[in-house]
Amino acid sequence: MLLDRGTLPALGGALLAAGGILFAVLAPGRKRCLSGPSAVPQMCIHWPTVGIAAGLALLAVPGLAANRFTLAGVMPWLGAIIALAIAVWPQRDRTVARRLPLSVTFSWPVVVVGLAVIVGAFLRLHRIHSIPLEMGCDLPLIQGNIAQILDGEFPIFFESHPGREGLFFYLAAAVASVAGLSHVSIKIAAALIGVASIPVMYWLGKEMWDRWAGAAAAVLLSISHWHIILSRMGYRAVLLPPLASLCLLFAVRGLMTGQPRWYALSAGFAALCLQTYNAGMVVPLLLMGALLIAAAFRRQLQVRISWSMVLLCALVILIVALPLVCYALEDPARYLYRAATRATSIEAPLPARPLATWLGNGARAAAMFQYRGDTVYVTNVPGYRQLGFATALFFALGAAYCALRRPLNHGWLLWLFLIGLLLPSTLSLAFPDEVPSAVRSIGVLPMAMMLAAVGVRAASCWLTGGSPQPGRSGRLNAVVRPLSVVAIVGGLLAEAVAVYPLYFGRYVSAQPYQNQSISLEMAHVIDAYSDGQAYILVAPFWYDGNAVRAQLVHAVPDGVQEVTVLEPGQGPLDRSVPRALVIVHPDGLEALSLLEGDYDRSIVLGHRWEDGSLAFWAFYGERKAE
């Protein structure tokens, strides 16, 4: 509460840390289900088949040139992936389905996850046609990228400024092929991915601790305003959390069992992270770094891994990411451009003390969970912490508990991914004001939810009396258990209730014109005008022309022309233009007067917002036939 009020934040942080440490000391312990003494995996990799996969990948390279998916490139590339699957998957294992970490059997945790999916779907799809209503500057370009796919073009990397990874666009194109391409269909595609991320969180929590930990993580994600906002925006970054979670899930599974298939799946999802968002570039590096550490300290970490598994994962990443690798080698400047604009002086000069700036970025990124979050109205309620109230509390408890008690199966991987996925946000050296960034650090969200779920699960041990450490005072349990009931159930219910007014109230109010779209309103006016040429008289920081054009339903004869200055003989003042619509800024009274004097007949209509304030003038002019 002190952190939220902004008064005595140092004291608030100290109290939060002290509470977490005290919780870690008093909470029941938990024996991890590790793999036991390290050993070289018994499951063998069929290396000749891996060699076939490598050969097919080489055959695919010419067909993946020129930044296009072609049949000549895709067929051998898919063949290489299939060959890898054959090389690592056990041929005589009849219990594969039973041991899959993604299998689901009926239990009360599964019921809880089902309810979390329903709640999460409601929060992500309710009124999605109108919230957020403004496309902004990114969605028109994203819509254009999806339109390329629907028109029969299949780029590997979408080069429209500043360059975008394309996996989300192909998934959104599938939705658009059914529902039609629009701002709403793009948001629906992102929201569906957000809903699908909830059961993925359950599987990750189940793998790292147990079913109830997974259920807690799923519930926390379903009511996370951070994830709700990112799921409803239509940004490709929404793919990073589920794919990074699956990468971590299968890495833990591989380290516990030593089976090549889990290592290969982890590497495959790490490669797919490259096709989500530029922050996903770090995931393959994190995975390979983790595997190198695990192989070097196999006995100390009690993992089942061999150096052949490390080599296998490197090959899997290279082959699954082959199309993007080909493009990155062809045009590294374009591929790295967006990331380079933040970490280098391409767009803005670097600070005089880059190390100090980076450390400051790191501190602000770490504080975003519980103190001050992203200040951009598009991606967050400006300045609001990235975690909900109960989640922020459980995050502090779970982080301290994991650090001091180490309850998770190979929890060091969780910490590695959490710190590593914060790195892209902290490297914004040229634009330190952009830190913290809810979008650039979205890959951290599953790890934050997992730590908060650990806090929930550790506290719930008092409810069941399931402490593996006998001798705890019965008097202490009699006091702590009721408090745990209130803290867990009451806290989660309160956050679930509070997230609705937070998003559908405060977030909406923070949008420009309180979530009224000037670009959509302009597009409606232009669509309703079919008698002549349409112009917009440009004013600084007023609207996005790409958003207007993207939302037009009917084609304009010569397109919507943007005019910076009214000059005789040009634009709407050209006497050869018989009829024209000109959209003018509310302050453009002088321009309206000039237009009225140039046309023989005219009418001016004022378009207003719901509060009565003027959005823009619409000038309709007509000249007499000569």
Mean pLDDT, to the nearest integer, of 503-514? 93
**Same-domain pairing of 285 and 384:** yes
pLDDT per position as a tens digit, 531-580: 788 999 998 889 899 999 999 988 776 778 999 999 988 989 998 889 99
Nearest CA among 110, 219, 226 for reference residue 496: 219
CA distances from 27 to 247, 454, 463, 465, 469 (A): 30, 11, 11, 11, 10
Range name among 424-433, 450-459, 470-479, 508-517 with the lowest pLDDT average = 470-479
Task: Give a yes or no: residue 462 inside a domain.
Answer: yes
**Same-domain pairing of 549 and 461:** no
Do residues 119 and 495 make contact, with C-beta atoms less than 8 angstroms apart? no
DSSP letter string over 545-596? HHHHHHT-SS--TT-PEEESS--TTSGGG-TT--EEEEEE-TT-HHHHHHHH
pLDDT per position as a tens digit, 31-49: 676 655 544 445 678 899 9
Task: Give a yes or no: residue 94 inside a domain.
Answer: no
Task: Give a yes or no: residue 65 inside a domain.
Answer: no
Give the C-alpha separation, 372 to 6, whole Å.
Answer: 9
| SS3 of residue 597 by DSSP | helix
pLDDT per position as a tens digit, 286-333: 999 999 999 999 989 889 999 999 999 999 999 999 999 999 999 999
- Give me the amino acid identity at 547: A
Give the C-alpha separation, 74 to 468, whole Å.
Answer: 53
**Same-domain pairing of 276 and 195:** yes
**Same-domain pairing of 492 and 541:** no
Q: What is the C-alpha R_g of the chain?
A: 28
What's residue 462's pLDDT? 63
What's residue 102's pLDDT? 59
Supply the angle between the helices 389-405 and 411-426 in degrees, to the nearest 10: 130
**Same-domain pairing of 296 and 177:** yes
For residue 173, what are the contacts with CB-CB under 8 A and spacing of at least 6?
146, 149, 150, 181
Task: Give a yes or no: residue 84 inside a domain.
Answer: no
Q: Note down the domain range covering 545.
A: 518-622
Mean pLDDT, to the nearest integer, of 144-171? 94
What's residue 476's pLDDT? 61
What's residue 351's pLDDT? 92
Tell me the two tokens of residue 395.
Answer: 């995050």
Query: How many residues does this entry show for the chain?
Result: 626
What's residue 624's pLDDT? 86
Range name among 159-163, 251-255, 318-322, 424-428 with the lowest pLDDT average = 159-163
Task: Give a yes or no: residue 86 inside a domain.
Answer: no
Task: Indicate the pairing of strand 579-584 with strand 533-537.
Answer: parallel
pLDDT per position as a tens digit, 469-495: 444 456 666 666 677 777 788 888 999
**Same-domain pairing of 503 and 587:** no
**Same-domain pairing of 560 and 417:** no
Task: Indicate the pairing of strand 157-158 with strand 164-165.
Answer: antiparallel
Q: Structurally, how many domains does the chain consist of? A: 2
**Same-domain pairing of 539 and 409:** no
**Same-domain pairing of 440 and 483:** yes
Give the C-alpha separation, 11 to 399, whole Å.
Answer: 19
For residue 508, what are the contacts with CB-CB under 8 A and spacing of at least 6?
131, 514, 515
For residue 430, what are the contacts with CB-CB under 8 A and spacing of at least 6?
341, 342, 343, 344, 345, 346, 347, 348, 349, 350
Domain ends where: 510, 527, 561?
Answer: 510
pLDDT per position as a tens digit, 443-463: 999 999 999 999 998 888 766
**Same-domain pairing of 607 and 467:** no
What's residue 107's pLDDT? 83
**Same-domain pairing of 491 and 584:** no
Task: Give a yes or no: residue 60 inside a domain.
Answer: no
What's residue 594's pLDDT? 93
Task: Give a yes or no: residue 41 inside a domain.
Answer: no
pTM of the predicted structure, to 2 decimals: 0.91
Task: Give a yes or no: residue 273 inside a domain.
Answer: yes
Question: Does 191 have pLDDT greater than 50?
Answer: yes
Mean pLDDT, to the nearest integer, of 76-90? 93
**Same-domain pairing of 491 and 547:** no
Domain ends where: 462, 484, 510?
Answer: 510
